[in-house]
Amino acid sequence: MGEQHNRTYVRCQLSFSDWVQAPSGGHVKSNPRLERKDYGTARAQSEEETKILFFFDCVEMTGPVSSPARAPITLTPIDFIDRTLPNGLRVLLVEDHRSPSVAINIGYRVGGKDDPPGRSGFAHLFEHLMFKGTANMAPETMDRLTEDVGGYNNAFTAEDITNYYEVVPSNHLETLLWAEAERLAALRITQAHFVTEREVVIGEYDQRILAEPYGMLDELVNREAYTLHPYKRGVIGDPDNLNAATLEDVVNFHATYYRPDNAVLVVVGDLEPNQALGWIERYFGAIPHAAGAIPRVTLVEPPQTAERTFSYRAPNVPLPAVDYAYHIPAANTPDAAALDLAETILGAGKSSRLYRSLVYGKQLATSAYARADLREHPGLFEFSAILSRGSGVADARAALDAEIARLRGELVSSQELERAKTQIASSFVRGRQTYNGIALSLVRAAVERNDPGAVNTDLARYLAVSAPDVQRVAATYLHPDNRTVVEYLPQ
């Protein structure tokens, strides 16, 4: 399996080590602050289960990325079928017979930002409730339908999407399609299940946010960086909001967002398209089109015109930390690729500028990174550093400011830019090494950007970015008046 270095909280451990939170086009981005913003429960897998999942989910789809100095970087396009059923369900199919397995993803256009006012955590709560049985399935049946045949299932919730997925031998495809349609159309939501899963979600909040030394930092950054947009609430949920919720609230939330016209179904692997479409039409097509419009977030975060600084203290913070959050545009805007490359240059890994300067060079920090958190709505470009013992926050901020000013004031070298592009291209390759990686890229592109074809065009956008483009986006967005600073200090 390898180490888990993604920024998601998932219902069970993922089945391949390279899956991190992939942006919509399939570019896999590791996040140095572990398990950040997608939520679920976790369980360990046995060695035997890991071997089984490795067998079913490790088919090679592409070769190694060529060196940009020797040849152009290319990827074979993903050939997918795109259909929409009369009830509004969007279906994407990829036929690939290199492994006798299939990956099924169904993504719903509902995430943390869509939680009703005063009910923070509902999207995350439903990630759990969807496993608690239907009119024709007992609780945890999805585990039996997948794990008992050598496959696996999982789910995650992010700001803009809730996604459920399975990988199974291909002769079990029809059964899993029936099961996914069943829990979309006939989920049983009981008071007992609601209370139990609410306690699980609150327990995750206690474990991930309160108990971990820097678990609260992301919550604080979102809370202070956004003044109006519901991204300020995060994803995992607010215990007080959840405790105040009623069963009626939960049932209404499911009826509002879990409907065919709010979902994208992706199936990738050893399938025959006409047969798969026939099964999908049989099981999903019978679900009626829901009445009424789906509520959408229309609040727009006002422009930030002056730097805001906040200082927090907590008893479980061993070393000071500082976080900068700059407002950036949404994932489907033209500047997204250049912002991603700026992230890679500044803060992706131990060879990045921030790590070399703050950790290796000045030894002011034990870790330092940058991240372009591109979302469906305008997101955040974050810089974060955990200070070394004896280092001062002012010195660390000065070092961060110097690296940001350098990117704003100087063109990156051609060698540094090409290295960053190669890093991103290699992450695209890793994202296509498994059927589930391909399915995840498609479902996120379709749900979060309404453009599954982005999986075939995103690499070209990255490769077209120039050094002046990187400097321009840095100058446009990474200026002090556009940032919120959170200093997180020992008590």
Total tally of structural domains belonging to the chain: 2
DSSP letter assigned to residue 52: H
**Can you give the pLDDT at residue 70?**
52
Pairing of the two strands 263-269 and 90-95: parallel
Domain end marker among 223, 248, 283: 283
Q: Are 368 and 384 in contact (CB under 8 A)?
A: yes
> Of 283, 298, 318, which residue constitutes the final position of a domain?
283
Domain that holds residue 393: 308-490
Same domain, 323 and 410: yes
Q: Is residue 21 part of a domain?
A: no
- The answer to whether residues 84 and 232 belong to one domain is yes
Whether residue 266 is found in the same domain as residue 320: no
Q: Are residues 259 and 208 in the same domain?
A: yes
- Considering the domain architecture, whether residues 482 and 403 belong to the same structural domain is answered as yes
Distance CA 178, CA 97 (A): 22
Residue 380: phi, psi to the nearest 5? -135, 140
Lookup: tokens for 482: 């556009």
Identify the pLDDT of residue 71: 67
Is the Cβ–Cβ distance between 368 and 348 less than 8 Å?
A: no
Beta 152-157 vs 321-328: how paired, if at all?
unpaired
What is the rounded CA–CA span in Å between residue 289 and residue 409?
Answer: 54
Indicate if 177 and 277 belong to the same structural domain: yes
Assign 207 to helix, strand or coil.
Answer: helix
Helix axes 393-409, 467-477, angle to 10 degrees: 130
Q: Does the residue 9 lie in any domain? A: no
Residue with tokens 């399939």: 26
Q: Which residues of 343-353 are buried (b: 16+ CB within 10 A; e: fewer)?
A: bbbbbbeeebb
The model's pLDDT over 49-104, given as tens digits with 9 standing for 90+, comes to: 333 333 334 433 333 444 445 567 789 999 999 999 999 999 999 999 999 999 99
Asked if residue 3 is part of any domain, the answer here is no
Q: Do 313 and 279 share a domain, yes or no?
A: no
The span from the CA of 367 to the CA of 479, in Å, is 22
Nearest of 17, 12, 154 to residue 4 by alpha carbon: 17
Contact of 381 with 339, CB cutoff 8 Å: yes
Tokens of 106: 């169904």
pLDDT in tens, 424-448: 999 999 999 999 999 999 999 999 9
Residue 172 lies in a domain: yes
The position carrying tokens 């949404």 is 330
Query: In this structure, what token pair is assigned to residue 372?
Result: 């372009």
One domain, residues 322 and 397:
yes
Q: Based on the domain organization, do 137 and 233 belong to the same domain?
A: yes
Q: How far is CA 175 from CA 28, 80, 102, 315, in A?
A: 30, 22, 12, 50
Burial of 406 (0-12, 13-18, 19+ CB in 10 A): middle
Q: What is the DSSP string of 447-465?
A: HHHS-GGGGGTHHHHHHT-
Judgement on whether residues 223 and 345 belong to the same structural domain of the protein: no
* CA nearest neighbour of 265 among 82, 133, 143: 82
Residues 316 and 279 in one domain: no
Instruction: Please indicate, yes or no, if residue 296 is contained in any of the structural domains.
Output: no
Spans of the chain, pLDDT less than 50: 1-26, 28, 30-68
Amino acid residing at 25: G
Asked whether the CA dihedral 442, 446, 449, 454 is positive or negative, the reply is positive
Q: State the pTM of this model.
A: 0.87
Please choose, from the candidates 367, 364, 372, the residue with its C-alpha nearest in 3D space to the C-alpha of residue 389: 364
Q: Decide if 229 is inside a domain.
A: yes
Query: CATH number, domain at 339?
Result: 3.30.830.10
Task: Copy the structure tokens of residue 51.
Answer: 């071997």
Same domain, 474 and 329: yes
Q: Compute and round to an integer the Cα radius of gyration of the chain.
A: 22
Long-range contacts of 144-153 (CB under 8 A, 24+ apart): 145/172, 145/175, 145/176, 145/179, 146/176, 147/49, 150/52, 150/55, 150/56, 151/52, 151/53, 151/56, 151/101, 152/12, 152/15, 152/49, 152/53, 153/11, 153/12
Residue 40 lies in a domain: no
Contacts of 456 (CB under 8 A, 6+ apart): 75, 77, 78
Cα–chain center distance at 237: 16
Amino acid 333: pLDDT? 96
**Contacts for 141 with CB less than 8 Å, ≥ 6 apart:** 133, 179
Whether 16 is in a domain gets the answer no
Within 321-392, where are the H helices? 336-347, 353-354
